Amino acid sequence: MTATFSAWSIRRYGAPDRLAPVQRPMPSPGPTEILIRIRASAVTRADGMMRAGQPCFARAFLGLRRPRKDLSGTGLSGEVIAVGAQVRRFAVGDAVFGEAGLNFGANASHICLDEAGVLMHKPAALSHEDAAVMCDGPLTSLNFLQNVAGLAPGERVLILGGSGSLGSAAVQIAAAMGAHVTATCSARNAGLVASLGAESVIDYTTQDPLAAPERYDVIYDTLGVTTFCKARHSLTQRGRYVCPVLSLGLLAAMLRTAAVGQRKARFSATGLLKPEILRPMLAKLIEMSTAGKLEPVIERIYPLDDLIAAHLHMETGHKRGNIVVV
């Protein structure tokens, strides 16, 4: 009998119920590939957008009418169970984590990936669940705070959305970088966000964080809840507004501020950066985690069979930290 693996397929863009469980023939690794038995994988807002084919311009990468690669999921952690003849970085038995990127297929029992991709050895102290979400909130927030905003020790940062996947990582990373952290969240998450390292917590349901007289060197709008124009007066003279949610308004602000003014608006598509750029960033996250400065917040762990329920919860926009399927 041919060996198979379990995965989730998206034949047409749409709601979570478009996800369908499938069995596929077990792949054998090509010369530079490794076959991974997946122990945990992430369910992220980006996965939801890819499933829905939104925003529409993303279909240029994903497939115009239907997903070009039909399997779901990007972030994963597991063990290497077979390697191609030319593989040098990994061996059978290694614990690894990383992301499938535009290959997709991480919400599965097995996956074949090129060893040159965004893959790292998993330290024993890091659980598969924590490792599976490293490429979402932690990697994106390190990219935005360190590379996009150029946050320096002693600077003041306002994190809008401190309790989401990106925000809960950002609070910890900014604090580890020596910044003074203010973050917004609702009252139910205030204790969590303060425990992650925020010196000041603002309840976004009762207070407008941009109405206060405080000025910030960096405003990291993890959810795209405001705009550069509205945030501008809360930035210092050389302040940076950085936002991972692309919109026409953000694009226009980036173009305008690149040409004139000292306050800047910036965006980056972290997942599209080269593996050579992302791997050293993951190494830095491992260092932070080993030093006890970064611990991913995991709100819920679902069995792989319940991927639709995991997507439905992720789509509420109110998850706390991360969601994982195992």
Q: How far is residue 214 from each of residues 56, 110, 133, 176, 208, measured CA to CA in Å?
A: 37, 49, 33, 22, 12
Please identify which residue in 78, 161, 239, 296 interacts with ligand NAP, judged by CB under 6 A: 161
State CA 145 to chain mean position distance: 13
Question: Among residues 179 and 243, whose Cβ is nearest to ligand NAP?
Answer: 243
Burial class (CB in 10 A: 0-12, 13-18, 19+), 116: middle
Q: Name residue 41's amino acid.
A: S
Among 197, 240, 320, 325, binds ligand NAP (CB under 6 A): 320
> Which residues within the stretch 217-276 sit at the binding site for ligand NAP (CB under 6 A)?
222-223, 225, 244-245, 268-271
Residues 121-140 that bind ligand NAP (CB under 6 A): 136-137, 140
State the amino acid at position 16 in one-letter form. P
Residue 321 CB, nearest distance to ligand NAP (Å)? 7
Identify which range of 50-58, 66-74, 124-132, 155-163 contacts ligand NAP by CB under 6 A. Answer: 155-163
CB 216 within 8 A of CB 157: yes
Contact set for ligand NAP, span 61-120 (CB under 6 A): none
Residue 142 to residue 271: CA distance in whole angstroms:
12
- Residues 40-59 as x/- pattern, contact with ligand NAP by CB under 6 A: ----xxx--x----------
From the CB of 151, what's the least distance to ligand NAP, in Å? 16
Q: How far is the CB of 182 from ligand NAP (least distance, A)?
A: 12
Task: Please classify residue 179 by burial: count the beta carbons closer than 10 Å to its beta carbon, then call 0-12 exposed, 13-18 middle and 19+ buried.
Answer: buried
| Dist CA 168 CA 257 (whole Å) | 28
Peptide bond just before 138 cis, omega within 30 deg: no
Question: Which of residues 46 and 307 has its CB atom nearest to ligand NAP in the complex?
Answer: 46
Among 13, 97, 104, 204, binds ligand NAP (CB under 6 A): 204
Could you tell me which of 163, 221, 230 has the C-alpha nearest to residue 197? Answer: 163
Helix (H) or strand (E) holding 167: helix 165-176
Residue 163 near ligand NAP by CB under 6 A: yes
Q: What is the CA radius of gyration of the chain?
A: 20
Assigned token pair, 202:
């603002």
For the CB of residue 94, give the shortest distance to ligand NAP in the complex, in Å: 26
- Of residues 29 and 209, the one with the C-beta less far from ligand NAP: 209
Torsion of CA 83, 27, 15, 118, to 10 degrees: 20
Looking at the Cβ atoms of 32 and 268, the one nearer to ligand NAP is 268
* Contact of 221 with 160, CB cutoff 8 Å: yes
CB of 316 to ligand NAP, least distance (A): 8
Q: Which residue is nearest to ligand NAP (CB)?
A: 164
Residue closer to ligand NAP by CB (options 137, 239) is 137
DSSP-derived secondary structure for 216-246:
EEEEEETT--S-HHHHGGGEEEEEEEE-SS-
User: Mask: binding to ligand NAP, 164-203, rule CB under 6 A, as x and -?
Assistant: xxxx----------------xxx-xx--------------
Residues making contact with ligand NAP (CB under 6 A): 44-46, 49, 136-137, 140, 160-161, 163-167, 184-186, 188-189, 204, 222-223, 225, 244-245, 268-271, 317-320
